[in-house]
Amino acid sequence: MHDKPQFSRYAIYYTPPNGALATFGAQWLGWDIETGCAVPHPEIAGLPAPISEITATPRKYGLHGTIKPPFRLAEGTTEDGLKAAFSDLAAQLPAVSLDGLELTRLGGFLALTIKGDQTPLANLAGSVVQQLDAFRASPSEAELERRRKANLSPRQEDLLMQWGYPYVMDEFRFHITLTGRLGRKDAETTKAILAPHVAACLPTPFTVGDLTLVGEDENGMFHEIHRYTLSG
Sequence-ordered list of residues with C-beta below 8 angstroms from that of 31, at least 6 positions apart, any chain: 37, 38, 39, 59, 60, 62, 221
Q: So what's the pLDDT on residue 154?
A: 96
Q: 3-state class of 86 per DSSP?
A: helix
| pTM: predicted TM-score of the whole model, two decimal places | 0.95
pLDDT at 184: 95
Q: In which residue ranges of the chain is pLDDT below 50?
A: 1
Q: CA–CA separation, 213 vs 211, rounded Å? A: 7
> What pLDDT is attached to residue 1?
41
DSSP 123-167: HHHHHHHHHTGGGBPPPPHHHHHHHHTT---HHHHHHHHHHS-SS
Identify the pLDDT of residue 3: 63
Question: How many angstroms separate the CA atoms of 168 and 20, rounded?
Answer: 29
